[in-house]
Structure 1
Amino acid sequence: MSIETSPASTPVWHHIDDAECRRFQSSVELVGKRWSSGILLAVAQGSSRFSEIVATVTGLSDRLASQRLKELEQAGLVHREVIATTPVQIHYSLTDRGADLMKSLQPLVSWGQRWAR
Structure 2
Amino acid sequence: MVDKVVQERECSKVEELYHMIGKKWMGLIVHTLMEEPKRFSEIHASIPDLSKRMLNERIKELEDCGLVLRNVITDRPVRTEYSLTKKGHELGKALKTVEDWANNWL
TM-score for the superposition, normalised by structure 1: 0.79
What RMSD, in angstroms, separates the aligned Cα atoms of the two structures? Answer: 1.9
Can you give the 5+ residue segments of structure 2 that lack an aligned partner in the other structure? none
Using CA pairs below 8 Å that are at least 6 residues apart, which structure has the higher relative contact order?
A: 2
Greater radius of gyration (CA):
1
Which of 30, 42, 45 is the matching residue for 1:40? 30
User: How far is 1:45 from its partner?
Assistant: 3.0
Aligned length: 103
Conserved 8 A contact 1:47-1:53: no
Which of 8, 11, 27 is the matching residue for 2:17? 27
1:93 aligns with 2:83: yes
Q: Which runs of 4+ in 1 moved over 6 A?
A: none
TM-score for the superposition, normalised by structure 2: 0.86
1:58 aligns with 2:21: no
Q: Please give the per-residue CA displacement for 1:8-55, whole angstroms capped at 9, x wherever unaligned.
A: xxxxxxx87111111111111211210111111111133510000001
Tell me how far apart the structure 2 counterparts of residues 93 and 63 of structure 1 sit (CA, whole Å).
Answer: 19
Structure with the higher helix share, 1 or 2 = 2
User: How far is 1:82 from its partner?
Assistant: 1.3
What is the percentage of aligned positions where both structures have the same residue?
37
